[in-house]
Structure 1
């Protein structure tokens, strides 16, 4: 009988005790402190902007007193007692904080987007190949239960009935920010293209990746993209007072329209994403997959993430009987005990800790880099058209 994989002694980058928003504390920490997380991914170190900031976070989150505190990515990378580094910082600091650990050959999990720009992404890919570092990227929504269920239904059908091959896919999505022309102060960087974190690569990027993970990749030569910046002047709101404090000129598109064909089936692919809220009563996401013998429709009423807000629903319309059948999905027992934002994250981290193959519960750096190149191509084409 094969022995269980050795636990990965884990360091968190970006677990802040003072940040307005913290993906590390909301989405990573709950799972890491669960029984499974503690056994497979024990937290042994933190890296923050300074040693004192890391020490403060250790106290605030009541981590073990022997948890090491670092203020330098190089010092963390040189720690032989750290096996895995998890990066949760803002995207424009991803590269600098993980590169030393990648070069040391450590395991690394970096949240999506990988880095602020294509040159940084390509450098990380090259350095990981040279060092042998395993790098996972936080595109964990591929394994959200609704996405897993869609793949099962497309592959196996329902009740002994098959749906046949995919003929067309249509996606209509709204979100990324709550309002079309207002952002909270903490997300003002969404309006600055060079930072690398914005609704095109984050909200839209996660959704597009999830969709393509279900229906298959696009034939690159077939893709036509149309991006638009409809609302360049965006107001910034102070959440503490709810008052508008300034207006920023955005250089990030807020509407994306894609058309193409799928590699595997030559099916037609149509995709629309618009930043901000939809028309009242319209779901945040409506995703239909038209197949030979029926059509699948997923509706996410309140958000694009499938796991947050009001739960997504899946229905199948059978053409022969004209009946509509609901498809149930659920979280596994341990995931259900965690906050929604933490459920997909811990399942991906556990798959990584269990040394599963890339694509089996986690997304490799090279796979994610291909997705980043696709989205960067849309943006580069749009920027060229603006000149």
Structure 2
């Protein structure tokens, strides 16, 4: 099978964040990645910027450079379009390719809000575009191990679950100029939509969705200071919550009991000294599972560089044992940030993305609807 011909949107040398280069390129330029994919084109803010990225990252000189989403969408040689830009330009950069029926892989969040995400999902259904969304913690081996334990009945039927999560960064009263958009919830990219969004998604991928739920959000530090690139400072305000508390009843399933509860607490900033920044407990009729991570809830990215212990308690014996899990050998050769993304690429190339539960646009709309329901409680959602 010939390599899938891929176009990357957002591989830039001047970007404030480097998710494309740190998360996507390591796999795509690896021996395994090259067997399955070929980088055919780049799309940046201008053709000149794309050409600079081709040269700067040492890509083949034949890689096409585009400065227009419409030009990229019209290229018949591109099989898969991958978007790694800031969230508020996702819609404009990928919509032409979705309309053209191309396969599209978009990093999370899919769009600024559920309305935009729904429009993209509807358009993809009309055009037949295959879609993937970068909620990659779903395919993290630690997540899949917990899912295996739950579905195997290792703890009986789930009766409740609780999550305590803190971010290792943030929680202060200042932010760099490049990330100041995190303070404006209308942009769509912030700690709630990104960090909490990734976390609640992999929790739901194991336990299923809420049947009913209620949320409480708080802005504890509305007054913020922007640290400009020239070293000067300026005051601003945040309208993004830094505390999220959700409780509700899970949908009944073969592994989840009727009326089972899911309680989630998420705070921006570090936990109390000596406490774990991420603990997820699943209680069943026969036992309990607990996952923790010293890097917080970031199972999808840098958290993968650290041990993620999983423990299983048997109520009948009181025994607590460690449950092992491991990376595929080829994943271990990649930087931690790229391992779960690499798995998504591999599953797509093998035609197994749907089978393993990789998120698509429709799944992203479900997650966006839940997040928008909390962040924009006074707005009617589609």
Same fold flag (TM > 0.5): yes
CA distance in 1, matches of 2:329, 2:76: 35
The answer for the alignment partner of 1:236 in structure 2 is 226
Aligned residue for 2:316, secondary structure, equals coil
Q: 1:49 aligns with which of 33, 45, 50?
A: 45
Q: 1:300 aligns with which of 282, 289, 293?
A: 293
Q: 1:167 aligns with which of 143, 159, 173?
A: 159
CA distance in 2, matches of 1:182, 1:35: 42
Contact 2:223 2:236 in 1 (8 A): yes
Q: After the TM superposition, which segments of 4 or more aligned residues of structure 1 sit over 4 Å from their partners? A: none
1:224 aligns with 2:214: yes
The answer for the alignment partner of 1:189 in structure 2 is 181
What runs of 5+ residues in structure 2 fail to find an aligned partner? none
Contact 1:349 1:362 in 2 (8 A): no
Q: 1:246 aligns with which of 227, 231, 234?
A: 234
Aligned residue for 1:202, secondary structure, equals helix
The answer for the alignment partner of 1:21 in structure 2 is 17
Could you say if the C-alpha distance between residues 207 and 244 of structure 1 is closer, same or farther in structure 2, counting changes exceeding 3 Å? farther
CA distance in 1, matches of 2:143, 2:184: 31
The answer for the alignment partner of 1:270 in structure 2 is 263
- Following TM superposition, by how much is the alpha carbon of 1:193 offset from its aligned partner in structure 2, in angstroms? 1.2
Could you say if the C-alpha distance between residues 277 and 183 of structure 1 is closer, same or farther in structure 2, counting changes exceeding 3 Å? farther
CA distance in 1, matches of 2:172, 2:158: 33
CA distance in 2, matches of 1:361, 1:218: 18
- Following TM superposition, by how much is the alpha carbon of 1:244 offset from its aligned partner in structure 2, in angstroms? 6.7
Could you say if the C-alpha distance between residues 361 and 63 of structure 1 is closer, same or farther in structure 2, counting changes exceeding 3 Å? farther
1:272-295 deviations in Å (ceiling 9; x for gaps): 111111111111111100111111
CA distance in 2, matches of 1:29, 1:347: 13
Mapping for residues 322-337 of structure 1, pairs under 5 Å: 322-337=318-333
CA distance in 1, matches of 2:202, 2:194: 12
Q: Under a length normalisation based on structure 2, what TM-score does the superposition of the two structures give? A: 0.93
Contact 1:181 1:276 in 2 (8 A): no
Q: Under a length normalisation based on structure 1, what TM-score does the superposition of the two structures give? A: 0.92
Greater shift after overlay, 363-372 or 308-317?
A: 308-317
- Following TM superposition, by how much is the alpha carbon of 1:180 offset from its aligned partner in structure 2, in angstroms? 3.4
Mapping for residues 32-71 of structure 1, pairs under 5 Å: 32-71=28-67
1:142-176 deviations in Å (ceiling 9; x for gaps): 1111101101112225xxxx320001000011117
CA distance in 2, matches of 1:359, 1:379: 32
Could you say if the C-alpha distance between residues 134 and 71 of structure 1 is closer, same or farther in structure 2, counting changes exceeding 3 Å? same
1:204 aligns with 2:219: no
The answer for the alignment partner of 1:135 in structure 2 is 131
Aligned residue for 1:363, secondary structure, equals coil
| CA RMSD after TM alignment | 1.7
- Following TM superposition, by how much is the alpha carbon of 1:62 offset from its aligned partner in structure 2, in angstroms? 0.5
Task: Kindly tell me the number of residue pairs found equivalent between the two proteins.
Answer: 371
What runs of 5+ residues in structure 1 fail to find an aligned partner? none
CA distance in 2, matches of 1:331, 1:75: 39
